[in-house]
A and B are shown apart, each in its own frame.
Chain A
Amino acid sequence: MGLPFLPVRGLIGTDYLRIRPDFQIIKNPYGDDELVAIPAIKPDLLLMHAYKADRSGNVLTDKRESDPLLARAAEHVIATAEEIVPALEPEADKVIIPGIYIDAVVHLPGGAKPTACPGYYEIQDEEIRRYLQAARTPETFARYLEEFLA
């Protein structure tokens, strides 16, 4: 939308304004009440993984994800995809992010692992458990990272 903020009702009187000092109380220009102005989130870059993409940068993702919204908010977008197809077609329960929002696509099957890519692979249960075990201490996590980044 390109708006600098959106007014939100209901936060005044809560601890929200204490933990988010950047949220400003504003006066309703059409009435006597007050609202909270929530600043727009403008990422420089979005990293996302998609089901399919074509070379023009159109990508197919899950309709339950917020990636389409983030792609419009971000200055640049890189999407990895399970499949590169000649021309992307709409599919049930999935949404297409138009190529005008995407800077680059990368063919990377398995690019969401160990997280799930519904329809392609499930959550890599054993690997997530290994991550959690490693993350119990900074020392064991440092060793996990060394391996992950190798």
Chain B
Amino acid sequence: MPDKLIPLGKTRAFFQSGSTVAIGGQSVFLNPMGLIKELAKSGCNSLNLVASPVGGLGIDLLIGAGLVESVEFAQISLWEYGLAPNLRRYAESGRIKPREHA
């Protein structure tokens, strides 16, 4: 079997502007925040995100960083902490395209 273990810095080879990126976990559980930080630092933008289907902190952060063009989701919230503030701001002002499955 091939060795699939790579250092975090090597993940950037997978990132591409305009690509469709699914984000695992939900609301405030098991979001891949380390990878989200790498993605945000990579300079890739116009991302089309897919929630799992309940998105949370990671998706809200990428939206707030201005890197997202659209997001496909059933729900994006921060669980007991309330609504996702950046999603709301960007969707209401038409800066992202929400693709709902509510």
A residues sitting closer than 8 Å to B (CB atoms) are 19-20, 22, 41-49, 53, 55-57, 61-62, 65-67, 70, 73-74, 76, 78-80, 84, 99, 102-108, 110-118, 123, 128-129, 131-132, 135-136, 138, 141, 145, 148-149
Q: Are A111 and B33 in contact (CB under 8 A)?
A: yes
Q: Are B65 and A145 in contact (CB under 8 A)?
A: yes
Chain A residues near B94: list those with CB within 8 A: none
Q: Are B6 and A114 in contact (CB under 8 A)?
A: no
Q: How far is the CA of A73 from the CA of B21 in the complex (A)?
A: 11
Q: Are A49 and B86 in contact (CB under 8 A)?
A: no
Consensus secondary structure, chain B interface: mixed
Contact of B4 among A20, A62, A103 (CB under 8 A): A103
For this complex, 17 residue pairs linking A to B, each with C-beta atoms less than 8 Å apart, are A20-B100, A44-B20, A46-B21, A47-B24, A56-B2, A65-B30, A104-B4, A104-B10, A104-B11, A111-B32, A115-B29, A115-B57, A116-B29, A118-B30, A128-B57, A128-B78, A135-B85
Q: Are A47 and B52 in contact (CB under 8 A)?
A: no
Beyond A43-B22, A131-B57, 7 additional pairs, beta carbon < 8 A: A41-B72, A70-B22, A102-B4, A114-B28, A128-B28, A128-B81, A135-B86
Output the residue of B5, B24, B27 with the most chain A CB within 10 A.
B24
Consensus secondary structure, chain A interface: mixed
Q: Distance (Å) between the CB of A109 and the closest chain B CB?
A: 9
Q: How far is the CA of A53 from the CA of B32 in the complex (A)?
A: 14
Q: Are B37 and A149 in contact (CB under 8 A)?
A: yes
Contact of B21 among A45, A67, A118, A132 (CB under 8 A): A45
Q: Known: A49-B32, A135-B85. Is A115-B21 also a contact (CB below 8 A)?
A: no
Chain B residues near A113: list those with CB within 8 A: 33
Contact of A62 among B30, B40, B65, B72 (CB under 8 A): B30
Q: Are A111 and B86 in contact (CB under 8 A)?
A: no
Chain A residues near B33: list those with CB within 8 A: 49, 111-115
